[in-house]
Amino acid sequence: MKALIPALALLLFLLSPLSAPVALAGEAEWKAHMDAGLLSVKTGDHQGAASRFEAAVREARLLGDKDPRYAVSLYRLAVAYHQLGRWADADPLYKQSYALTLKLYGDQHPFVATQLSDMATFYVEQGQHQLAEPLLKRLLALEEKKLGPDHPTVAATLNRLGELYRDVGQFTLAVPLYRRALGILETAHGPEDQDVATVLNNLALAYSAQSRYFEAEPLYRRSIALREKAFGPNHPRVGTVLHNLADLYRVQGRHAEAEPLYLRAIAIAEKTPGPRNQDVVTMLGNLAKLYRAQDRNADADAALARAKKAQEQSSK
C-alpha cells in the first residue's frame, strides 16, 4: 500500500482550541487513546492502532459531531481499517469523516485534501477507479487553487490521475497528464530528479500501450539512467524499468535486445529482499513469451517452471 498522508501535525492544528483552561469531559481519555493509537501506527501495529482509535471514536462521539475530534477520530480509524484490509469497515468511516470535515471547515481546508487523497488510494486499491476519479479531480482542483498550477504537489496528483486512466486503458487521457506532470517536475526539481524518472517510466508505459514505441523507448532509457545514477545498477527500481523496456523490445520483435534486459531484471528481483516473488513471476512469464516467439520451447518451459516455483513461494 502506498503511504498515507500523516495526520499528526494536522491533528495538532485542528485541536488547538483545546488549550482552554477548562478541560471537557472525556478530553483526557480521548487524548490518551489517540496518542496510543498514533504510537501504534508508528510501530506498524495497525491492529493495536485500530483498537485505540475505536476507543477514541467512542469518547469523541460524546462530544458531538460538531467537535473536530470526532471527525479526526473517524478518519484515523478509517485509515487503520484500511491498513488492515477491512474495506467494508473503512469505507463508511472515510465518508462520514469527510462529510463532517466539510461542514466544519469548508472544502478548501488542508484536512479535506488529506482525506481526498487517502480515499482515492483506498478505492484504487480495490479497483474502484470510477469512485477514485472524482476524488482525484477534486484534490487536483484544490491543490491548483491553493498552491498554483505549477507546484510539485500538483504534479504528484497529475501523475496519480494519469495512473488511474492508464490502469483502465484510457491512454489518451493519461498521456497529457503525465506530460504536464513531467514539465512541472523538470522545472521545479531539475531533469535528474527521481520523481522525473518515475513519470518518465509511466509516460513510456502509456506510449507503449498505444504502440507509440519510438516515443516510449528514449523515455525508458532516460528513466533507467536516472535510477542507475541515483541507486546503482542493481536496485529494484532499475529492474522495474529494465523489464518494461524489455517488454517493448519483445512486442517489436527485437528479441536479441530484449533477452539480456529480462535476465538482468529477473536477477535484480530475485536478489531483492522482501515480497517481490510476484514481480519475478511476471518477468519470467514474459521471458517465456520471448522464448516461445523464437521457438526456444525448452528455455520457455524452464522459465515457466521457475515462475511456478516463485508463485508457490509468494503464496506461503
Tell me if 250 is assigned to some domain: no
**In the prediction, which pLDDT does 275 show?**
64
Whole-number pLDDT of residue 303: 96
Question: Mean pLDDT, to the nearest integer, of 2-24?
Answer: 43
- Predicted confidence (pLDDT) at residue 5 exceeds the cutoff of 70: no
- What confidence tens digit (pLDDT) does each residue in 229-248 have? 999 999 999 999 999 999 99
Residue 57 is predicted with a pLDDT of 95
Across all residues in the chain, what is the average pLDDT? Answer: 91
Q: Where are the alpha helices (DSSP H) in the chain?
A: 8-14, 27-42, 46-61, 68-84, 87-105, 110-125, 129-147, 152-167, 171-189, 194-209, 213-231, 236-251, 255-271, 277-293, 297-315
Categorize the per-residue pLDDT at 177 as very low, low, confident or very high, splitting at 50, 70 and 90: very high
The predicted structure's pLDDT at residue 24: 53
pLDDT bracket for residue 17 (50, 70, 90): very low
- Domain assignment of residue 282, yes or no: no
Within a domain: 244: no
Q: Could you tell me if residue 236 is inside a domain? A: no
As a whole number of angstroms, the distance between CA 188 and CA 193 comes to: 9
Question: Residue 31 belongs to what domain range?
Answer: 1-137
The CATH number given to whatever domain includes residue 91 is 1.25.40.10
Tally of structural domains, the chain? 1
CA distance 239 to 233: 8
For 187-228, how does the pLDDT look when each residue is reduced to its tens digit (9 = 90+)?
Answer: 999 999 999 999 999 999 999 999 999 999 999 999 999 999
> Is a pLDDT exceeding 80 seen at residue 26?
no
Residues whose CB is less than 8 angstroms from the CB of residue 4 and which lie 6 or more positions away in sequence, other chains included: 79, 82, 83, 117, 118, 121
Q: pLDDT tens digits for 47-99? A: 999 999 999 999 999 888 899 999 999 999 999 999 999 999 999 999 999 99
Note whether residue 246 is domain-resident: no
Residue 154's contacts (CB-CB under 8 Å, 6 or more residues apart) are 140, 143, 144, 147, 148, 184
- In this predicted structure, the answer to whether residue 276 has a pLDDT above a threshold of 80 is no
